[in-house]
Amino acid sequence: MPFRFQFVKSLVISLQNIEFNHYSGYNQIVPLRWIRTGFGRNICRRPLFICNCGRSVIKLYFQYGSLKCRRCAHAVYASQVCDKHTRPILQALRLETFLKLKSYMGQRNRRRLTARIPKTHSRRLDSKRLSHHMIQLPHSNYSTRGAMHWR
């Protein structure tokens, strides 16, 4: 059978995780979560991959040397397609959205993050590739506590 994953040299599979030995030398361990699907006689167990971000997913994507879930892949992709003009706009949009979504955040964090908003004249991302609403959502918790309930 032809090996489908051309970026991995070998796989070590156990019930708890899959170890991907990438050609780059990177040894990525992806934990698994087992779920039950089906009803009655047709119950079966299937594994979900647990991405670095904590999401359990059916599918992982290979991007920039490692495997990640769709959302993480999309987030990395967005900052890669940015250039020096659009990157500060994206950062500003994400921070402003973060401050809006996390309305219960303390004053100290609010001041700290407000100070980090890049001073850009524009708030527009014209690129079609960056206009997807998920891209403009904050992807990190910016060192504050509490759930990122929008994710």
Q: Which positions touch Zn ion (CB under 5 A)?
A: 51, 53, 55, 69, 72
Q: Which CB sits closer to Zn ion, 51 or 92?
A: 51
Q: How far is the CB of 70 from Zn ion (least distance, A)?
A: 8
- Output b/e per residue, 103-125; b: 16+ Cβ within 10 A: eebeeebeeebeeebeebeeeeb
Minimum distance, C-beta of residue 29 to Zn ion, in the bound complex (Å): 15
For Zn ion, the closer of residues 51 and 93 by Cβ is: 51
- Which segments of the chain are extended strands (E)? 8-13, 17-22, 27-37, 44-50, 56-57, 61-63, 66-68
CB 72 within 8 A of CB 51: yes
In the complex, the smallest distance separating the C-beta of residue 60 from Zn ion, rounded to whole angstroms, is 9
CB of residue 71 vs Zn ion: minimum separation in angstroms? 5
Query: Which tokens is 14 given?
Result: 């156990």
Angstrom distance (rounded) from CA 41 to CA 63: 39
**CB-wise, 19 or 96, nearer to Zn ion?**
19
Q: Are strands 61-63 and 56-57 parallel, antiparallel or unpaired?
A: unpaired
Q: Which is nearer to Zn ion, 9 or 55 (CB)?
A: 55
